[in-house]
Amino acid sequence: MGDTRLIHRILTDDRVEKWRARCFWVNAPTALLALASFLLFHGEVFPQRWESFIALFQALCLIVLIGETVGVFVLARNLKEGWRQAPGDTLALLVGALMGLVLFVISPWGAAYLDESTTFTAFAYLTQAGLLSFVMVRLLRLLSFVTRLVQSPLHVFLGSFAGLILVGSGLLMLPGAHAPGQEVSFLDALFTATSATCVTGLTVVDTGTVWTRFGQLVIITLVQMGGLGIMTFAAFFGLAFGRGMGVKGAAAVGEVMNLDLIGRVGRVTVWILGTTMVCEGLGVFLLYGHWVDAAGNALPVGEQLYYSMFHSISAFCNAGFSLYSDSMVRYVGHWPVVLSLSWLVIMGGLGFTAIMEVTTFRFWAHPWARRVTFIKRKVKGQPIPRLSLQSKIILYMTVILLAVGTVGMLVFEWNYTLKSLDWDDKLAAALFQSMAARTAGFNSVDTPSTSTATQFWTILLMIVGGSPGSVAGGIKTTTFFVMILSVAATFSGRPTEAFRRRIPESLIRKSLVMLVLAMVFICTATLALCVTEAEHMAGEHYGFEHVLFEAASAFCTVGLSSGVSSELTPAGRIIIIACMYIGRIGPLTLVLAIGRKAQRRFEYPEENIMIG
């Protein structure tokens, strides 16, 4: 019986693969045309009178895309096997059918809760939502297919980020992306798209007033896709379609994310998307109801939901984009917003492997828990759980850096921006700034008004950044920990050890390379900005410390600004754009992608030299 089922499954997989191969060359252009019609219409390129024709065209595209899923179920010959072959498409179909049924029930032909005009509008939105779901699945499958054809998937990662930035720039240039009367140049759009894709948060125009709702949705979509990484999406959907990534693809994704994914890419990618949806959804719930307008009045229900969604995604992805021109200054002492955003930023910066290990950690089997007689009998014979060395370092460093950063902010800003605040507001502001300096990009105090000591302290925190495998930037907490540990070990004359584990020498060298490359890039960018912004610096619009702050913030993808981003020359903006791109993909990843690994047949003998 088991052999028969296995043979049946193999034959079914073969039939489905052949069917998908035939549909691929039809669905790919259909998905691209449907997505283009959607974006161009909402970008106000097409006149409003074309709405009915575009809606009909999109409905036809949706039918074509659904045809593949129907064919899969026909070839699978039973519902269970069809679900296994196309879980994503099936789920989208079920949700769409359920929402369509609900819409019919409340329409004029049912309970008549909605009028005819509202019903047709809701149906159009439902069609577009379903179309986007199917289009994204096809495009991500296309990316996974391209990844297999390219010799180095790492090059696909670099190119996909560059392509996403260019596409985002084009969308932000559409007439419907910016408010009437607002002049936006291509360089402004490129800067914003790069900042969003690289989850940085630096802006040259005000996000809440210059960009329309369509433009803001483009920005937050770029933030979401850039934060998680295109190849992570491709890995997940490739696995969902039963294709997997293979050893080559898993190694590429793992190298990009600083993770060992061989043999467990499925588990990790599911955890990545699952954690993202849960955290961002909980963030929307926690932030809902706290948003106010310029006069301090609570926003309407729809705006509350939109603001919560936008800032929840921005915070979890450590992007720092805000719909307020002053970021979060108006919420400086508002603990619900401070704690909610801080929690989202910290979760996004921990790294998905650390979250996965902590969430699945069996606390009841820990030796401390075994001291209880009842628990000891239940867990007898079970292995003692343990966290990996990486997760321990991440958790310890996150707490230490957050505490040290908060104390530093309190000390350096006590008589400056925190002077007029109450004690609890000072603590909230210092905690928020300490969290934000680790690649979040939000600010609850006016950053340009902070002291020079605070700005230098912030630069140090920005360089450290978040943790590996996360959406955060910087050299990473583990790199900083290993470097500090290796220095201490050199002075003590002992091996580099932590938590009863020895750190490999190769890891120490890699950490040193990461630190040196980061400092080289930041110093080079600062020097270049000193040249391009010499006129402004001579006029004392801003000084060297502001230029250094901006370069470090861009390279470490933080998003905090000393107030000079909008005043930069075109050349200066291009330098910052390069910093954000290189900082997001990682200097080591860039070197590995473009460098050649030469094979040497011999090695030279060693010889000591004096140093110091």
pLDDT of residue 539: 66
Say which range, 257-266, 358-367, 397-406, has the weakest mean pLDDT: 257-266
One-letter amino acid of 504: P
Which of 4-13, 42-51, 101-110, 410-419 has maximum average pLDDT? 410-419
Q: Which residue has the higher pLDDT, 421 or 86?
A: 421
pLDDT band at 595 (very low <50, low <70, confident <90, very high): low
196: tokens are 């969003």
Q: Which residue has the higher pLDDT, 559 or 94?
A: 559
Q: Counting beta carbons within 10 angstroms of the beta carbon of residue 14, is it exposed (0 to 12), middle (13 to 18) or buried (19 or more)?
A: exposed
What integer is the mean pLDDT of 78-105?
78
Given a contact cutoff of 8 angstroms between Cβ atoms, the answer to whether 473 and 585 are in contact is: no
Q: Which of 280, 273, 199, 205 has its CA nearest to residue 236?
A: 273
* Neighbouring residues of 543: CB distance < 8 A, sequence distance ≥ 6: 537
* Neighbouring residues of 323: CB distance < 8 A, sequence distance ≥ 6: 207, 208, 216, 307, 310, 311
Q: Which residue has the higher pLDDT, 341 or 119?
A: 341
pLDDT of residue 103: 77
Task: In whole angstroms, give the CA distance from residue 554 to residue 328.
Answer: 20
Tokens 């955290």 label which residue? 279
Task: In whole angstroms, give the CA distance from residue 496 to residue 508.
Answer: 9
Query: Rounded to whole angstroms, what are the CA distances from 120 to 53, 134, 343?
Result: 14, 21, 40
pTM: 0.84
Q: How high does pLDDT run on average in the chain? A: 83
What integer is the mean pLDDT of 561-590?
86
pLDDT band at 361 (very low <50, low <70, confident <90, very high): confident
User: Which residues are 292's β-sheet partners?
Assistant: 298
What integer is the mean pLDDT of 291-314?
90
Task: In whole angstroms, give the CA distance from residue 474 to residue 386.
Answer: 28
pLDDT of residue 240: 46
pLDDT, tens digit, for every residue of 500-549? 889 988 888 888 888 998 999 999 999 999 999 988 777 666 788 889 99
Beta strands in 358-418 (DSSP E): none
pLDDT band at 242 (very low <50, low <70, confident <90, very high): very low
pLDDT of residue 448: 87
* Neighbouring residues of 532: CB distance < 8 A, sequence distance ≥ 6: 568, 569, 571, 572, 575
pLDDT band at 589 (very low <50, low <70, confident <90, very high): low
Task: In whole angstroms, give the CA distance from residue 335 to residue 585.
Answer: 34
* Sequence ranges of the domains in the chain: 1-149, 387-594
pLDDT, tens digit, for every residue of 106-122? 777 777 777 777 777 77
184: tokens are 């936006």
What integer is the mean pLDDT of 189-209?
93
pLDDT, tens digit, for every residue of 148-169? 665 566 676 777 788 889 999 9
pLDDT of residue 393: 93
Whether 256 shows a pLDDT value over 60: the answer reads: no
pLDDT, tens digit, for every residue of 26-39? 888 888 888 888 88
pLDDT, tens digit, for every residue of 349-360? 888 778 888 888
Helical axes 51-76 vs 87-105, angle rounded to 10°: 130
Given a contact cutoff of 8 angstroms between Cβ atoms, the answer to whether 398 and 477 are in contact is: yes
Residue 498 DSSP code: E
Given a contact cutoff of 8 angstroms between Cβ atoms, the answer to whether 435 and 495 are in contact is: no
Whether 247 shows a pLDDT value over 80: the answer reads: no
Given a contact cutoff of 8 angstroms between Cβ atoms, the answer to whether 440 and 318 are in contact is: yes
